[in-house]
């Protein structure tokens, strides 16, 4: 009996010591999440305050604490400026003990921010950026690129259009890292399928007058105009294309169309357009349940970055719990060895390079006659398996 009592006491002490060690290993006695996004500009609707809401939901659903300690959230507007974004994150890490960064919309901002996070050995959960650089030329053991990228967009949307016989393309491209990357990857897909790019123009971020770019597209002899832009830029360029009659002359392909932007357009203009997304609220019962909760708080259905921000945050917090620490290397090791599996991440894995590979969806923007409600924006046409949507991992980015 004495031996059993001693054994039980030793086991209890070991559990207590393990628990204490785990608690003590949390930096600053808490986990602090920074949400950085465009809060009032051209990308505000696709991440912005909605990404803050999504992260808040993840923290609440997780229970509000991890390893017995509080989880805190801070947020800021990067104004779509790399210097502003990197300065905010540097201050967060050096002065405010922020442990992980998420949100991250404009690829130029994300590129500057991930240099800071990598130097500081802090994890970046990239929920909204499109460039594939963060798992290729700017890959890092601390990047987790969650929701989508330009490769998946091009493979999902461009390839089937070219295969249908529309071979000649013209691009109207957002003139910064994201647009350049999307045009470049799309061009490779077009050429690999026997097509050609007959011309391209680049428009500054936040352009409101697209008339000169549309006139150049009309004169190009193209069969398809690819809009390698997003957010308000996509909305404004497509509206101008319709006003100038371009949509009656040739096909227009939106290479990155978020639900808030599709919702803002007259279905007479956008209806029937094919695009690729990593998430749609009405995909299944699980996605509908989460999206209803999000809409009740945010006032609108979620765009894919909102769902991605929630999913990435939840996976991170589960990894902190499993690792018993918020030390980045230990947490990332758990994140990469555990398959993400939730309403967003289907058939998913977080690769060693930080690319979260998961199912993508080819969708059609619904016409007015097809809509059952104001939120009935997309109709899923097909599921694109992750290994077909995303590029293979580069050996130099294999951070085991």
Whether the pLDDT of residue 9 is over 50: the answer is: no
Q: What local confidence, expressed as pLDDT, does residue 17 receive?
A: 37
Q: List CB contacts of 317: < 8 A, sequence separation 6 or more.
A: 31, 58, 59, 62, 66, 71
Q: pLDDT, tens digit, for every residue of 201-237?
A: 999 999 999 999 999 999 999 999 999 999 999 999 9
Mean pLDDT, rounded, for 269-292: 96
Across the range 238-246, mean pLDDT stands at 96
pLDDT of residue 197: 98
Structure confidence at residue 27 (pLDDT): 84
Asked whether 259 and 291 are in contact (CB, 8 A), the reply is no
User: How much is the pLDDT for 77?
Assistant: 98
- pLDDT at residue 19 greater than cutoff 60: no
Question: d(Cα 167, Cα 169) in Å, to the nearest integer?
Answer: 6
pLDDT band at 18 (very low <50, low <70, confident <90, very high): very low
In three-state form (DSSP H/G/I as H, E/B as E, the rest C), the secondary structure along 337-391 is: HCCCCCCCCCCCEECCCCEEECCEEEEEECCHHHCCCCCCCEEEEEEECHHHHCC
pLDDT, tens digit, 9 for 90 and up, residues 120-137 = 999 999 999 999 999 999
pTM of the model: 0.90
Which domains are seen in the chain, by residue range?
A: 30-148+283-353 (3.40.50.2300), 151-277+361-384 (3.40.50.2300)
pLDDT per residue over 28-69, tens digit each? 999 999 999 999 998 999 999 999 999 999 999 999 999 999
| pLDDT number for residue 13 | 36
Nearest CA among 328, 316, 324 for reference residue 23: 324
Cα distance between the two ends of the chain: 48
Please classify residue 208 by burial: count the beta carbons closer than 10 Å to its beta carbon, then call 0-12 exposed, 13-18 middle and 19+ buried.
exposed
Stretch 323-347: mean pLDDT: 97
pLDDT of residue 219: 96
E-assigned strands of the chain?
31-37, 65-66, 69-77, 100-103, 123-126, 143-145, 168-174, 196-203, 224-228, 251-254, 274-277, 349-350, 356-357, 360-365, 378-384
Angle value at C-alpha 179, between 190 and 115, nearest 5 degrees = 120
* Whole-number pLDDT of residue 40: 94
Closest CA to 320 of 309, 310, 330: 330
């Amino acid at each position: 009996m004495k031996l059993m009592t001693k054994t039980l006491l030793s086991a209890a002490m070991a559990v207590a010591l393990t628990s204490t060690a785990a608690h003590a290993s949390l930096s600053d006695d808490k986990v602090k999440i920074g949400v950085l996004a465009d809060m009032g500009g051209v990308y505000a609707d696709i991440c912005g305050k909605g990404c803050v809401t999504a992260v808040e939901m993840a923290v609440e659903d997780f229970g509000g604490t991890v390893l017995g300690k509080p989880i805190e959230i801070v947020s800021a507007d990067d104004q779509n400026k790399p210097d502003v974004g990197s300065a905010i994150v540097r201050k967060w890490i050096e002065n405010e003990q922020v442990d992980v960064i998420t949100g991250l919309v404009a690829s130029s901002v994300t590129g500057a921010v991930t240099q800071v996070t990598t130097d500081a050995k802090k994890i970046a959960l990239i929920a909204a950026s499109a460039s594939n650089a963060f798992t290729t030329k700017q890959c890092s053991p601390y990047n987790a690129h969650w929701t989508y990228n330009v490769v998946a967009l091009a493979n999902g949307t461009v390839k089937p259009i070219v295969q249908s016989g529309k071979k000649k393309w013209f691009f109207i491209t957002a003139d910064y890292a994201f647009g350049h990357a999307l045009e470049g990857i799309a061009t490779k897909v077009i050429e690999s399928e026997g097509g050609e790019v007959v011309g391209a123009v680049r428009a500054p971020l936040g352009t409101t007058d697209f008339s000169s770019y549309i006139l150049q597209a009309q004169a190009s002899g193209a069969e398809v105009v690819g809009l390698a832009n997003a957010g308000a830029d996509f909305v404004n360029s497509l509206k101008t294309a319709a006003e100038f009659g371009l949509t009656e002359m040739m096909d227009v392909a939106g290479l990155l169309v978020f639900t808030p932007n599709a919702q803002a357009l007259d279905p007479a203009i956008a209806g029937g357009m094919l695009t690729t997304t990593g998430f749609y609220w009405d995909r299944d019962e699980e996605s509908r349940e989460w999206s209803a909760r999000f809409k009740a708080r945010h006032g609108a259905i979620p765009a894919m970055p909102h769902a991605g921000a929630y999913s990435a945050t939840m996976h991170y917090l589960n990894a902190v719990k499993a690792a018993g620490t918020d030390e980045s290397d230990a947490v990332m090791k758990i994140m990469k060895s555990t398959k993400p599996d939730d309403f967003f991440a289907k058939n998913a894995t977080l690769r060693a390079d930080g690319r979260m590979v998961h199912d993508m969806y080819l969708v059609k923007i619904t016409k007015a006659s097809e809509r059952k409600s104001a939120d009935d924006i997309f109709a899923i046409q097909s599921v694109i398996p992750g290994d077909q949507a995303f590029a293979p991992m580069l050996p130099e980015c294999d951070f085991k």
